[in-house]
Structure 1
Amino acid sequence: MGRLNASNELAACHCRMCRNWGGGPMLAIDCADKMKISNETSVTRYPSSEWAERGFCTHCGTHLFYYLKPANQYHLPIGLLEASASFNFTHQIFIDEKPDYYEFKNETHNMTAADVFAHFEEG
């Protein structure tokens, strides 16, 4: 992928698109605009909404990132990173779209879809 300077805060997104994309909630870290892709020819960007793109490897199909266009912000699935790195599970978004068949035991800051959209309108 290239160079990375990311937050150590891990988030879960429960929106329908993330669950459809990965088969479950997306567990990701926020890399803001610090991620640099070294070989964009190996990456396909799928415009999943007016405000976001999802990137995957053209060769193997691995999910690489969720890119929030208005904020120029990349979110990387945690599984792409070293397991030995220290991350803190701090928040969950689209909690109102989370199905009842799973639950995380961690205490986190939870945001509904309305909370998420309001947050980005403020910023």
Structure 2
Amino acid sequence: MKGKCLCGSIEVAANECKEVGLCHCSMCRRWSGGPMFAVHCGNAVEFSGAEPSIYRSSDWAERGFCSICGTHLFYHLLPSDEFILPAGIFQDQEFQLTNEIFFDEKPGYYELKNETHKMTGQQVFEQYAPKS
């Protein structure tokens, strides 16, 4: 799949993916103004054009964006080198919403009708956090 930022300065190529998840965590909502429609792209992601700006948002992850137009480009999990990209940068893709994480942090002002697998923040950390 191919996508790009709003101004076109950064292009991205990733393996085909048909599923999108939704993250309701407070950090993603602050970053994007709403929940993040997240496409898990693994580590086979290539960026071309301008260099993304990077913000280290936690001990285990960083977020990338275009320094020209501000488009959010990725959430990068450092321990696994996995890239999670916003669905909106892939304009010609059809996705199916399959899961929602940090569902316990979802504010009450929006509701989705999709039937999805839902996980609380605690469940996410128990399943995916690096083990010491």
> By the TM > 0.5 criterion, same fold?
yes
Offset from partner CA, 1:4-51 (integer Å, 9 cap, x none): 114211000000000000110001110011111224x52111000111
Offset from partner CA, 1:45-84 (integer Å, 9 cap, x none): 100011111100011111111111112111111110023x
Counterpart Cα distance in 1 of 2:45 and 2:17: 11
Whose helix proportion is higher, 1 or 2? Answer: 1
Does 1:14 find its partner at 2:38? no
Residue aligned with 2:113, SS: coil
Normalising to structure 2: TM-score of the pair? 0.85
Q: How many residue pairs get matched?
A: 121
**Contact residue 9 and residue 90 of structure 1 kept, 8 A:** yes
1:1-123 equivalences in 2 (<5 Å): 1-39=11-49, 41-83=50-92, 85-121=93-129
Deviation of the 1:122 alpha carbon? 7.5
**Contact residue 6 and residue 34 of structure 1 kept, 8 A:** no
Normalising to structure 1: TM-score of the pair? 0.91
Counterpart of 2:56 in structure 1: which amino acid?
P
**Contact residue 13 and residue 25 of structure 1 kept, 8 A:** yes
RMSD: 1.6
Counterpart Cα distance in 1 of 2:65 and 2:130: 30
Whose strand proportion is higher, 1 or 2? Answer: 2
Identity, in percent, stands at 48
User: Which structure 1 segments of 5+ residues have no match?
Assistant: none
Counterpart of 1:73 in structure 2: which amino acid?
E
Counterpart Cα distance in 1 of 2:113 and 2:21: 14
| Deviation beyond 3 Å, 4+ runs, structure 1 | none
